[in-house]
Structure 1
Amino acid sequence: MSQTPNDSLPAAAAAAPRRRKALAVVAAVVLLGGGAWGTWYALVGSHYEHTDNAYVQANVIQITPQVAGTVLAIGADDTDLVKAGQVLVKLDPADAQVALDQARAQLAQTVREVRTLYANNGSLQAQVALRQADVDKARSEVARAQEDVSRRSPLLASGAVGKEEYQHAAAQLSAARSALAAAESALVAAREQWGANRALTDGTQVTDHPNVARAAARVREAWLAAQRVNLPAPVDGHVAKRSVQVGQRVQAGTPLMALVTLGQPWVDANFKESQLQRVRIGQPATLTADVYGSKVVYHGKVAGLGAGTGAAFALLPAQNATGNWIKIVQRVPVRIELDAKEVAAHPLRVGLSMEVELDVSKQDGAVLAATPRARPLSETTVFDQQAREADALVRQIIEANLGHAAAPVRTGARGA
């Protein structure tokens, strides 16, 4: 028997309350879920900023030669750990050694030449004294000859003295005057020569004479060039991107390999510009690396915020003053320091992907660095020894060629 339309009305009326009840339950669940999420976001979620656009960075040092040469040996390969001062590449030292030998010989010769300048002061002073004695003698001869002429002049008219004798006395006077003029000229020349030599030595000693200093600088330059045929590691690190080969001729500044300091990495987290409103220096961060997964958690803190967006420093920056402009959310790199102990337990590599969660609840830090760095970021003492050894070599050469002229006698006043 078929059911009439009037029979279905009670069934529909009975199902309506059940649907309203189900919808009410769903609405209640949605409201409760939304309220729970809102409460969680207000109390917890709003205190954190998260990004997976973060990568490990470290100091990458390019190993480049300071002098040209042919590669004789390579002391490290990719993935090797090297210590500061370890020789990474050795160049042919022949040319540098020849230049050093020439500079050493030139310094030794210069020291002896300068010693001669000081020694000449004494001989030239003696020459001045000798020329002064000649002048005094010539003046005495002129005075004697003048007296002879003066005595004979009144007697010439009376015939007591012959004309020939008078002429002979006058000739002697003229010769004496010429000899005096020559002696005085010789004295002036001697004084000028002595003064010229003193101008090269006054106020200095052999060890600090300008000529010696110039030759010593050339020795230091040649010594440093000879030492720079060995390329040491400036700091501890791991070798990467080795491109140098034995027998290769390299020029100064050619990249040979890279040295990565994996012991002191950091993370550049590229947050959206809309996430930076509450980011401050010193805020704590938790990080995970894709290479280890969520089981290994790193802890760090914000060390600083970039001075501009990544696009601003790109090789080809965007040209936004165009007709086809589309707004793109920019990102700013935020540097995060890592705990050194955690990095040592789970080493990282340059370029690894990281996920960063930043706790922005504390707002007492600065947005940008407010004071300059008080100490160098990094430094090396590997090359200090080269300068000290160069100075020691210079002193050795100078002392070996000083003889007894280490403390020259100071000259007196000009003239005699």
Structure 2
Amino acid sequence: MLRMADATPEFSASEASDATAPDDTKKADRAAVRKLWLTRLALAVVVLGLLWAAWYLLIGRNHVSTDNAYVNAEMAQVTPLISAQVTQVLVSDTQAVKRGDVLVRLDPTNARIALAQAQADLAEARRRFRQSSATSSALAAQVDARGADIVQARAQLATAQANVEKARIDLQRREALVGDGAVSGDEVTSARTAYAAARAALELAQAGVNTAQATRSAASGQLAANDALVSGSSVDTDPGVMVAQAKLDAAKLDLDRTVIRAPIDGVITKRQVQVGQRVAQGSPIMTIVPLAQVYVDANFKERQLRQVKVGMPATVVADIYGGDVVYHGKVVGFSGGTGSSLSLIPAQNATGNWIKVVQRLPVRIALDPKELAAHPLRVGLSTEVDIDLSGH
């Protein structure tokens, strides 16, 4: 019995050792597998690190990129140059137009009346110039006539002087004969009266000469004044005619402005005008977007722009087409300020709670026109921009 009792524990221990052996083997296998995968993971991390380092050294450090980039364009805002009522609208939103196409027609009635008035004013100015030219000839004839009057007055003055001299001599003779009684007192009195009359006639003749000379001077002044108006001018170069011509040109221009044409090629957007509406001068009525001349404004972080220069090549991918379409362009310029500094309400950092925020500076990227023609872009679309720092 003792032998059997002793044999039983020995059998149980061997069975227990046989049962635990598979568990240890499984644990060892699991540890080996785990170690193998960890080794593989470490190798993969090392390989990826080496690949990333090689990519950065060869490619990555020579590129800067951003997805904060949007399509933009120099849009043309169409505004009427005169105030008038709209009679016809020939375009609608999303319609493509060419430069010179008629967009809107305004009521030309007032412009035509103003044109007719300007034409009448020009004709009146030309007639006044011709009248002034004819007046110069008439005034020149008057000056010649006043010269003849002066000659006549001087002749009368000479006659009066001779009469005065004759009357004086006659008076002296009679006065010399009064003492001898050869001449009566009446004759002396008559001689004195004749002498006085001759002197009065002399003064009148002298006044006539002065009057004729003054009249001639006045006529000469009128002639000079009229010559100043027409001298060196023709019916086309006269200042009055030129002023009237300028008003006529302005009236023609206002009439032409009743037809509003497209200033550039593009697509109509934001049309704000209807038939019958009275538009004011300078008020926007629509916008034209030049799709063939769009560009990209890429907002790069300030630290990314250390080596970026104007002229460097860039590639652009638009979200609307995805990575299958790549646009090629170049850097053409940098904005004069960051987006925050040029905002409507710029950030004020002079506070005690100031926190430094990385700023972004808009960089303009010009695109290839041929690629734009093949895959048009619209203003405001999102893009991704990559600049090659090693390119020239």
The bucket for the TM-score relative to the shorter chain is 0.7 to 0.9
Partner of 2:351, secondary structure, is coil
- Aligned mate of 2:124, from 98, 105, 109: 109
Aligned to 1:354: 383
Residue 233 of structure 1: CA displacement? 0.9
Matched, 1:85 2:100: yes
Aligned to 1:336: 365
RMSD: 2.3
Matched, 1:324 2:339: no
- Aligned mate of 1:190, from 212, 219, 225: 219
5 Å-filtered alignment, 1:12-411, equals 22-159=37-174, 162-163=190-191, 164-362=193-391
Gaps of 5+ in 1: 365-416
- For residues 200 and 304 of structure 2, the distance between their equivalents in structure 1, rounded to whole angstroms, comes to 114
Residues 245 and 22 of structure 1, relative CA distance in 2, 3 Å threshold = closer
Residues 134 and 248 of structure 1, relative CA distance in 2, 3 Å threshold = same
- For residues 108 and 29 of structure 2, the distance between their equivalents in structure 1, rounded to whole angstroms, comes to 103
Calculate the TM-score normalised by the size of structure 1: 0.81
- For residues 365 and 29 of structure 2, the distance between their equivalents in structure 1, rounded to whole angstroms, comes to 64
- For residues 312 and 199 of structure 2, the distance between their equivalents in structure 1, rounded to whole angstroms, comes to 111
**More off after superposition, 15-24 vs 222-231:** 15-24
- For residues 63 and 122 of structure 1, the distance between their equivalents in structure 2, rounded to whole angstroms, comes to 55
Partner of 2:317, secondary structure, is strand
- For residues 10 and 237 of structure 1, the distance between their equivalents in structure 2, rounded to whole angstroms, comes to 79
- For residues 211 and 26 of structure 1, the distance between their equivalents in structure 2, rounded to whole angstroms, comes to 96
Deviations 1:193-221 (A, max 9, x none): 11111222233223111111111111112
- For residues 357 and 96 of structure 2, the distance between their equivalents in structure 1, rounded to whole angstroms, comes to 42
What percent identity do the matched residue pairs reach? 46
Residue 14 of structure 1: CA displacement? 8.3
Deviations 1:51-80 (A, max 9, x none): 111111122111001111111111211111
Residues 254 and 143 of structure 1, relative CA distance in 2, 3 Å threshold = same
Q: What letter corresponds to residue 128 of structure 2 in structure 1?
A: E
Residue 137 of structure 1: CA displacement? 0.8
Residues 331 and 213 of structure 1, relative CA distance in 2, 3 Å threshold = same
Residue 241 of structure 1: CA displacement? 0.4
- For residues 222 and 299 of structure 1, the distance between their equivalents in structure 2, rounded to whole angstroms, comes to 49
Q: What letter corresponds to residue 245 of structure 1 in structure 2?
A: Q
Q: What letter corresponds to residue 78 of structure 1 in structure 2?
A: D
Deviations 1:306-328 (A, max 9, x none): 22211121111111112232222
Calculate the TM-score normalised by the size of structure 2: 0.86
Residues 98 and 331 of structure 1, relative CA distance in 2, 3 Å threshold = same
- For residues 267 and 18 of structure 1, the distance between their equivalents in structure 2, rounded to whole angstroms, comes to 53
Partner of 2:291, secondary structure, is coil
Residues 143 and 271 of structure 1, relative CA distance in 2, 3 Å threshold = same
Partner of 1:263, secondary structure, is helix
Q: What letter corresponds to residue 282 of structure 1 in structure 2?
A: G
More helix by share: 2
- For residues 106 and 76 of structure 1, the distance between their equivalents in structure 2, rounded to whole angstroms, comes to 38
8 Å CA contact 2:122, 2:248 repeated in 1: yes
- For residues 38 and 207 of structure 2, the distance between their equivalents in structure 1, rounded to whole angstroms, comes to 141
- For residues 10 and 227 of structure 1, the distance between their equivalents in structure 2, rounded to whole angstroms, comes to 101
Partner of 2:99, secondary structure, is coil
Number of matched pairs: 361
Q: What letter corresponds to residue 262 of structure 2 in structure 1?
A: A
8 Å CA contact 2:76, 2:264 repeated in 1: no
Residues 92 and 10 of structure 1, relative CA distance in 2, 3 Å threshold = closer
Residue 152 of structure 1: CA displacement? 2.0
Aligned to 1:403: none
Partner of 1:223, secondary structure, is helix
Deviations 1:318-371 (A, max 9, x none): 111122322221111111111111111111111111112221123x5xxxxxxx
8 Å CA contact 2:68, 2:298 repeated in 1: yes
- For residues 75 and 338 of structure 1, the distance between their equivalents in structure 2, rounded to whole angstroms, comes to 32
Residue 165 of structure 1: CA displacement? 3.5
- Higher CA-based Rg: 2
Q: What letter corresponds to residue 141 of structure 1 in structure 2?
A: Q
- For residues 83 and 33 of structure 1, the distance between their equivalents in structure 2, rounded to whole angstroms, comes to 54
